[in-house]
Amino acid sequence: MQMQGNTYGYIRISSADQNEERQQIALRAKAVPQSNIFMDKRSGKDFDRPQYNLLLKQLKPGDTLYILSIDRLGRNYAEIQRQWQFLTQVIGIDICVIDMPLLDTRRGKDLMGTFIADLVLQVLSFVAQSERENIRERQNQGIKAARARGVRFGRPPKPLPQNYSNVYQKWKSGIISGTTAAHECGMPLSTFLYRAKRYENSQIL
């Protein structure tokens, strides 16, 4: 079937160092002009993406949008559903998910074809979100297990100044105020008090 309108492609990668070449190759194989390819280096949790929003302004009824896989459109189940309906029903474009031929709205325009495409979309969107949630849960479990083993996260605290112990003793004895003690140690009062508490609890400076 001959396509009407222009063809566009959308690429989403989750970080600046992730390689987008595989998506570029797939779109070029579909003869999508390079000038019509829009790419965001953003998370898929929502659709607040500069290039995606720019793409929406370009799309017109009869255009075709290519994406390599459904998770390149997004990872939030409800948002994918809403965007799919907005693109196909409100704007009036066709969408082709390259690695899932059943998700090609140019095919099966009858009731059965639409039903199959909607069903596949719901399943794949659900799988995409479930995988994202499973990854997050595995990360949380890994962090908890590491903490239980004594692994510390975040930047290590800066070394204490050489005079800290002496200043701490004067502050603890009431000879100087906390503000004076913090000033002598060259740190904010909140930091001085935090480190003092750690010292009192664990004797680790």
Catalytic residues: 14
The pair phi, psi for residue 95, each rounded to 5°, is -120, 135
- How many degrees, rounded to 5, is the angle at CA 13 between CA 69 and CA 49? 100
Of residues 123, 61, 48, 64, the one with CA closest to residue 97: 64
What pairs with residue 67 in β-bridges?
97
State the helix-helix crossing angle for 178-185 and 189-202, rounded to 10 degrees: 90
* CA atoms of 202 and 188, how far apart (whole Å): 21
CB 66, CB 27: distance < 8 Å: yes
Of residues 46, 71, 56, 65, the one with CA closest to residue 5: 65
CB 38, CB 50: distance < 8 Å: no
At residue 69, the 3 state secondary structure works out as coil
